[in-house]
Amino acid sequence: KVFIQNNITVLLKVIRTGESGKSTFIKQMRIIHGSGYTEEDRKGFTKLVYQNIYTAMQAMIRAMDTLKIQYTSEENEVRHLLIRINVEVDKVTVLERRQVEAIKNLWEDPGIQECYDRWREYHLSDSAKYYLTDIDCIAVVRVPTTGIIKYPFDLDNIIFRMLDVGGQRSERRKWIHGFKSVTSVIFLVALREYDQVLAECDSENRMKEIILFLNKTDLLEEKIMYSHLISNFPEYTGPKQDVKAAGDFILKLYQDQNPDKEKVIYAHFTCSTDAENIRFVFAAVKDTILQLNLREFNLV
């Protein structure tokens, strides 16, 4: 029998490629295992939700011109000007009724829907659909992470300190400053970005354990139906439109990058917007981390 002292502290470093869903994962952890969000926190998200709605719609309006897609409704030929010209996103604090109606009508236009379906041809947040169909969902609000932010939460007498660092290329030089005393590294990647250019991570670390979260399984399920892996990875020999085969192939791509074959990469398929999935996966992560630390001290 092993007796474990209360309040073991585990320091987790969460790194990822840009827009991999890491911030949403952190939000879920705060809700499930932390103190959640105060009323003040929620009010603070309101402006961000509004700004994300406008940002998404403006991106599609610009892409309509670039992709030479026509609006189906003549009224939307006029409505798009209200959103494109009359709104400065960074100054948005409220949603005016006239603009809300314009956005709703634009979103329902078949031309905009065609533009949305071609999102790979321009930059559009993968949460755009959430913003435009459910503006009350704070979990998908995109706020680019800069620097290093700490989030504490307790789970079964284990104190977790999660370090949140930026994933864009400009932020990666800061990663090294957060590695001191780190117990494990969680690396998040977006599964659906297999046909998009990913920024190469050339940072090397010497941490003992790597936990890989292959995130956005829900979006992979959508994309794999029309974007085939073989178009970007000729070596793929699995079936088309097969989510499991696609996920396993992408996982192997990451496993093959491991130079130390004796080091195990603990991989999990995740969906950051699914609270139950994150609850289940992190319970497994917690057990893995605990067992590895007990083994290090010859307690198992």
Kindly report, residue by residue over 60-104, the tens digit of the pLDDT: 999 999 999 999 988 999 899 888 877 788 787 777 788 888 888
Q: Which candidate in 55, 79, 164, 172 is catalytic? A: 164
Q: Please say if 168 is a catalytic residue.
A: yes
Task: Using the predicted structure, report yes or no on whether residue 15 has a pLDDT greater than 70.
Answer: no
Is this prediction's pTM over 0.85?
Answer: no
Q: How would residue 123 be classed by pLDDT, with cut points 50, 70 and 90? A: confident
Helices (H), 239-297: 243-255, 275-296
CA angle 99, 143, 82 (to 5 degrees): 15
Q: Please say if 164 is a catalytic residue.
A: yes
Residue 63 and residue 68: Cα distance in Å, rounded? 8
Q: Which candidate in 16, 51, 109, 142 is catalytic? A: 142
Torsion angle defined by CA atoms of residues 66, 71, 72 and 78, in that order, rounded to the nearest 10 degrees: -170
Q: Which helix (H) or strand (E) holds 40?
A: helix 39-66
**Fold of the domain spanning 41-139:** GI Alpha 1, domain 2-like (1.10.400)
Q: Are the beta carbons of 151 and 34 closer than 8 angstroms?
A: yes
Q: In 3-state terms, what secondary structure has residue 157?
A: coil
CB-based contacts of 282, cutoff 8 Å, min separation 6: 29, 32, 33, 155
Kindly report, residue by residue over 153-189, the tens digit of the pLDDT: 666 666 666 666 654 444 444 544 555 555 666 777 7
Residue 144 and residue 148: Cα distance in Å, rounded? 12
Hey, which residues does 13 pair with through a beta bridge? 163, 185
Higher pLDDT, 233 or 144: 233
Q: Which amino acid is at 2?
A: V
Kindly report, residue by residue over 200-257, the tens digit of the pLDDT: 333 333 334 677 888 889 989 988 998 889 988 999 999 999 999 999 999 999 888 8
Domain boundaries, the chain: 7-37+148-297, 41-139
Q: Are the beta carbons of 130 and 142 closer than 8 angstroms?
A: no
CATH number of 7-37+148-297: 3.40.50.300
Q: Which candidate in 72, 113, 168, 288 is catalytic? A: 168
Q: Are the beta carbons of 87 and 55 closer than 8 angstroms?
A: no
CA distances from 43 to 31, 38, 246 (A): 16, 9, 39
Q: Please say if 248 is a catalytic residue.
A: no
Q: Are the beta carbons of 81 and 126 closer than 8 angstroms?
A: no
Residue 42 and residue 57: Cα distance in Å, rounded? 23
Q: Which residues are annotated as a binding site?
A: 19-24, 126-127, 145, 164-168, 215-218
Q: Which candidate in 24, 28, 55, 270 is catalytic? A: 24
Q: Please say if 24 is a catalytic residue.
A: yes
Length of the chain (residues): 300
Residue 297 and residue 235: Cα distance in Å, rounded? 43
Helices (H), 172-238: 217-223
Q: Are the beta carbons of 8 and 161 closer than 8 angstroms?
A: no
Q: Please say if 38 is a catalytic residue.
A: no
Q: Which two tokens stand for residue 284?
A: 């497994």
